[in-house]
Copies of this chain bind each other. A is one copy, B any other.
Protein backbone atom coordinates (compact mmCIF):
# COMPACT_ATOMS: atom_id res chain seq x y z
CA UNK A 1 0.00 0.00 0.00
CA UNK A 2 1.36 3.44 -0.85
CA UNK A 3 2.23 5.59 2.11
CA UNK A 4 2.98 9.11 0.95
CA UNK A 5 4.70 10.18 4.10
CA UNK A 6 5.65 8.05 7.02
CA UNK A 7 5.69 10.99 9.41
CA UNK A 8 2.73 11.08 11.75
CA UNK A 9 -0.10 12.97 10.06
CA UNK A 10 -0.74 14.78 13.35
CA UNK A 11 2.78 16.23 13.30
CA UNK A 12 2.54 17.23 9.66
CA UNK A 13 -0.83 18.85 10.19
CA UNK A 14 0.38 20.71 13.29
CA UNK A 15 3.46 22.05 11.52
CA UNK A 16 1.32 23.29 8.67
CA UNK A 17 -1.07 25.08 11.06
CA UNK A 18 1.87 26.69 12.87
CA UNK A 19 3.41 27.81 9.59
CA UNK A 20 0.20 29.39 8.30
CA UNK A 21 -0.58 31.00 11.65
CA UNK A 22 2.92 32.52 11.95
CA UNK A 23 2.72 33.72 8.37
CA UNK A 24 -0.38 35.69 9.29
CA UNK A 25 1.37 37.07 12.38
CA UNK A 26 -1.23 35.56 14.67
CA UNK A 27 -0.43 34.26 18.15
CA UNK A 28 -1.84 30.92 19.27
CA UNK A 29 -4.17 32.97 21.42
CA UNK A 30 -5.35 35.02 18.43
CA UNK A 31 -6.02 31.87 16.44
CA UNK A 32 -7.78 30.21 19.37
CA UNK A 33 -10.02 33.25 19.70
CA UNK A 34 -10.83 33.28 15.96
CA UNK A 35 -11.68 29.55 16.06
CA UNK A 36 -13.53 29.65 19.35
CA UNK A 37 -11.21 26.90 20.59
CA UNK A 38 -8.95 26.83 23.59
CA UNK A 39 -5.38 28.16 23.30
CA UNK A 40 -3.98 24.99 24.87
CA UNK A 41 -5.90 22.93 22.32
CA UNK A 42 -4.31 24.92 19.46
CA UNK A 43 -0.92 24.37 21.12
CA UNK A 44 -1.56 20.63 21.23
CA UNK A 45 -2.62 20.58 17.58
CA UNK A 46 0.56 22.42 16.54
CA UNK A 47 2.73 20.00 18.54
CA UNK A 48 1.05 17.04 16.80
CA UNK A 49 -0.53 15.80 20.00
CA UNK A 50 -4.14 16.09 18.92
CA UNK A 51 -6.06 13.76 16.64
CA UNK A 52 -8.16 16.67 15.39
CA UNK A 53 -11.36 15.91 13.50
CA UNK A 54 -13.18 17.46 10.56
CA UNK A 55 -15.30 20.07 12.34
CA UNK A 56 -12.31 21.58 14.15
CA UNK A 57 -10.17 21.32 11.01
CA UNK A 58 -12.81 23.47 9.31
CA UNK A 59 -12.81 26.02 12.14
CA UNK A 60 -9.03 26.41 11.89
CA UNK A 61 -9.15 26.61 8.09
CA UNK A 62 -11.82 29.34 8.24
CA UNK A 63 -9.85 31.29 10.85
CA UNK A 64 -6.73 31.14 8.66
CA UNK A 65 -8.75 32.00 5.53
CA UNK A 66 -7.70 28.85 3.69
CA UNK A 67 -9.59 25.79 2.49
CA UNK A 68 -9.28 22.66 4.65
CA UNK A 69 -7.28 21.13 1.80
CA UNK A 70 -4.57 23.74 2.28
CA UNK A 71 -3.99 22.53 5.84
CA UNK A 72 -2.48 19.35 4.39
CA UNK A 73 0.95 19.20 2.78
CA UNK A 74 1.16 18.57 -0.94
User: B-contacting residues of A (Cβ < 8 Å)?
Assistant: 1-5, 9-10, 13, 34, 51-55, 57-58, 61-63, 65-69, 72-74
Contacts and interface: CB of A to CB of B under 8 A. Distances in A.
A55 B3 contact: no
B51 A51 contact: no
B34 A65 contact: no
A3 B3 CA distance: 31
B65 A2 contact: yes
Nearest to A10: B54
A69 B72 contact: yes
A1 B55 contact: no
14 contacts: A1-B62, A1-B65, A2-B65, A3-B62, A4-B61, A4-B67, A9-B57, A51-B53, A51-B54, A53-B53, A67-B73, A69-B69, A69-B73, A72-B72
